[in-house]
């Protein structure tokens, strides 16, 4: 039987589910901001969800992610008898594989058109690298996108090379002077999880910077279509 009541603890996947079958999404985190007309019961944050609220929604399945959500919360929900599906997504192909499993086996929904469109756009081989980038995701302390990340793989698929791709750790700490001298042609400053702005971030570097939507480089879902067209230009 297809799932009729779903709680999502992952903003990317919330957008994917609410775009596909909005009436089935009954709960989502405070960070789930897309689609713009999303109207569900808030269940607090990705790292501190209100488990009692989730239980009260009586979901057929709760959708989580290994990186974004805590194992403790997943375990407590499962101990309550709630079905929790957990994804682990570190590459663009892994995102499509996860959605295939989610739609086909877990939710038993038809695969949506946006998924096949996104898959088609991202299925080609990565182009020759044309830009070397560093991607800070926090400041004070400064942290950057490191190895084995979805963001790094997404950028690679459009011809960007992450200069911290071989770093130890997925989001290592780095001194601002090191980021500035690490060989990037441009430093990408997303607006999430840290909200870099024109007045908060670029002034720290001598290297050219570019403000980008965090959703376009960290989310996996319908945003992949927009990301491909905007970032590969």
Model pLDDT for residues 63-108, shown as the tens digit of each residue: 999 999 999 999 999 999 999 999 999 999 999 999 999 999 999 9
Rounded Cα distance between 157 and 151, Å, is 10
Buried b (16+ CB within 10 A) or exposed e, 88-126: ebbbbeebbebbeebbeebbebeebebbeebbeebeeee
Rounded Cα distance between 44 and 29, Å, is 5
User: Do residues 72 and 154 both lie within one domain?
Assistant: no
User: Do residues 221 and 161 both lie within one domain?
Assistant: yes
User: Do residues 23 and 102 both lie within one domain?
Assistant: yes
Rounded Cα distance between 126 and 157, Å, is 4
Is a pLDDT exceeding 70 seen at residue 204? yes
In a domain, 1, yes or no: no
Rounded Cα distance between 214 and 166, Å, is 22
Domain boundary (121, 141, 164) is at 121
User: Do residues 99 and 140 both lie within one domain?
Assistant: no
The CATH number linked to 168 is 3.40.50.1980
Picking from 160, 150, 90, 156, the residue whose alpha carbon sits closest to that of residue 125 is 156
User: Do residues 28 and 111 both lie within one domain?
Assistant: yes
Picking from 129, 130, 166, the residue whose alpha carbon sits closest to that of residue 145 is 166
User: Do residues 76 and 142 both lie within one domain?
Assistant: no
**What does the pLDDT average to over 4-31?**
97
- pTM exceeding 0.85: yes
User: Do residues 78 and 169 both lie within one domain?
Assistant: no
Domain boundary (98, 121, 144) is at 121
Return the pLDDT at 205: 98
CB atoms within 10 A of CB 139: 15
* Residue 106 DSSP symbol: I
Give me the helices (H) in 23-85, please.
51-56, 71-79
CB atoms within 10 A of CB 165: 15
In a domain, 215, yes or no: yes
Return the pLDDT at 233: 64
User: Do residues 116 and 137 both lie within one domain?
Assistant: no
- Given pLDDT bands bounded at 50, 70 and 90, which one contains residue 125? confident
Proportion of the chain above pLDDT 90, given as a percent: 95
Rounded Cα distance between 53 and 80, Å, is 13
The overall average pLDDT reported for the chain is 96
User: Do residues 84 and 179 both lie within one domain?
Assistant: no
Residue 73 zone, left/alpha/beta (φ > 0; ψ -120 to 50; rest): alpha
Return the pLDDT at 199: 97
User: Do residues 83 and 135 both lie within one domain?
Assistant: no
pLDDT in tens, 50-63: 999 999 999 999 99
Picking from 38, 7, 10, 43, the residue whose alpha carbon sits closest to that of residue 218 is 10
Return the pLDDT at 139: 97
In a domain, 126, yes or no: no
Q: Work out how many domains the chain is built from and give that number.
A: 2
In a domain, 225, yes or no: yes
Domain hosting 162: range is 131-231
């Amino acid at each position: 039987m297809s799932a009729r009541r779903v709680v999502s603890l992952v903003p990317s996947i919330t957008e994917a589910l609410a775009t596909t079958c909005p009436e089935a999404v009954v709960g989502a985190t405070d960070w789930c901001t897309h689609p713009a007309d999303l109207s569900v019961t808030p269940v607090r944050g990705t790292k501190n969800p209100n488990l009692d609220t989730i239980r009260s929604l009586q979901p057929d399945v709760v959708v989580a992610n290994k990186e974004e959500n805590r194992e403790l919360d997943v375990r407590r929900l499962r101990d309550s008898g709630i079905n929790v599906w957990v994804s682990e997504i570190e590459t663009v192909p892994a995102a499509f594989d996860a959605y295939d499993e989610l739609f086909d086996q877990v939710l038993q929904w038809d695969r949506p058109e946006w998924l096949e469109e996104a898959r088609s756009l991202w299925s080609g081989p990565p182009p020759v690298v044309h830009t070397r980038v560093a991607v800070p995701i926090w400041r004070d302390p400064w942290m950057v996108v490191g190895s084995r990340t979805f963001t790094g793989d997404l950028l690679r698929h459009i011809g960007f090379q992450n200069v911290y791709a071989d770093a130890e750790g997925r989001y290592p700490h780095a001194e601002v002077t090191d980021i500035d001298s690490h060989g990037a042609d441009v430093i990408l400053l997303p607006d999430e999880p840290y909200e870099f702005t024109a007045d908060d971030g670029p002034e720290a570097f001598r290297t050219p910077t570019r403000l980008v939507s965090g959703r376009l480089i960290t989310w996996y879902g319908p945003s992949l279509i927009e990301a491909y067209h905007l970032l590969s230009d």
